[in-house]
């Protein structure tokens, strides 16, 4: 089983992105780490990577500086819209990710079961229904549109939640995926 683990580099004034740190802590034949720039244009690279790597699962990790605990995103929306620019200075104001794509895509995995499994391992995780409309939502939408089972996880700043616990959550997600195959 192969998992594509996607995170983003720094943006929005944060010198470090915990999603990047988490992704870079994984490297094995079963986990392909990928760090993307926080750029609307560069997130499009995800389509190519999924086609080339042919993963069994995709996990996208995204920074949410306002959260105090990690949260699985139930939906991804076919919209790019933010008040802050990406790292290339691009601001999107309601543009679609895929012109003829569905308005939203549900997570194709059983989120309550995942939440229970992680809790049984001692890892609490929240569920969110709104990932925002920044590049992380774009990555989640593209991953789900690919047809590969995918999950999007927003992570808080490192000062609010230890990286080691977030790595444990990712390890638990990968175990869950392997057991559910």
C-alpha–C-alpha distance, residues 120 and 136, integer Å: 28
Note whether 78 and 141 are within 8 A (CB). yes
What is the tens place of the pLDDT at every residue in 161-173? Answer: 999 999 999 999 9
pLDDT band, residue 160 (cuts 50/70/90): very high
- Core vs surface per residue 22-61: b (16+ CB within 10 A) or e: bbebbeeeebbbbbbbbbbebbeebeebbeeeebebbbbb
Whole-prediction pTM = 0.95
Average pLDDT (149-156) is 96
**Averaged pLDDT score across all residues of the chain:** 94
- Choose between 138 and 29: higher pLDDT: 138
pLDDT band, residue 65 (cuts 50/70/90): confident
Residue 62 pLDDT > 80: yes
pLDDT band, residue 16 (cuts 50/70/90): confident
Residue 13 pLDDT > 80: no
C-alpha–C-alpha distance, residues 30 and 36, integer Å: 19
- Per-residue pLDDT, 181: 77
Percent of the chain with pLDDT over 70: 100
Percent of the chain with pLDDT over 90: 90
User: Minimum mean pLDDT among 74-78, 80-84, 98-102, 117-121: which range?
Assistant: 80-84
């Amino acid at each position: 089983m192969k998992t594509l683990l996607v995170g983003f580099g720094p943006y929005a004034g944060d010198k470090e992105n915990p999603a990047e740190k988490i992704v870079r802590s994984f490297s094995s034949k079963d986990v392909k780490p990928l760090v993307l720039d926080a750029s609307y244009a560069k997130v499009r690279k995800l389509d190519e990577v999924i086609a080339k790597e042919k993963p069994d699962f995709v996990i996208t990790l995204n920074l949410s500086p306002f959260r105090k605990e990690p949260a699985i995103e139930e939906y991804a929306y076919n919209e790019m819209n933010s008040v802050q620019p990406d790292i290339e200075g691009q601001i999107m104001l309601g543009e679609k990710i895929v012109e003829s794509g569905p308005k939203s895509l549900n997570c194709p995995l059983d989120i309550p079961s995942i939440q229970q499994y992680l809790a049984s391992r001692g890892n609490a995780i929240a569920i969110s229904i709104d990932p925002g409309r920044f590049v992380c939502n774009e990555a989640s939408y593209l991953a789900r549109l690919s047809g590969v089972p995918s999950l999007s996880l927003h992570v808080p700043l490192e000062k609010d939640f230890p990286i080691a616990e977030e790595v444990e959550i990712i390890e638990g997600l990968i175990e869950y995926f392997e057991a559910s195959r």
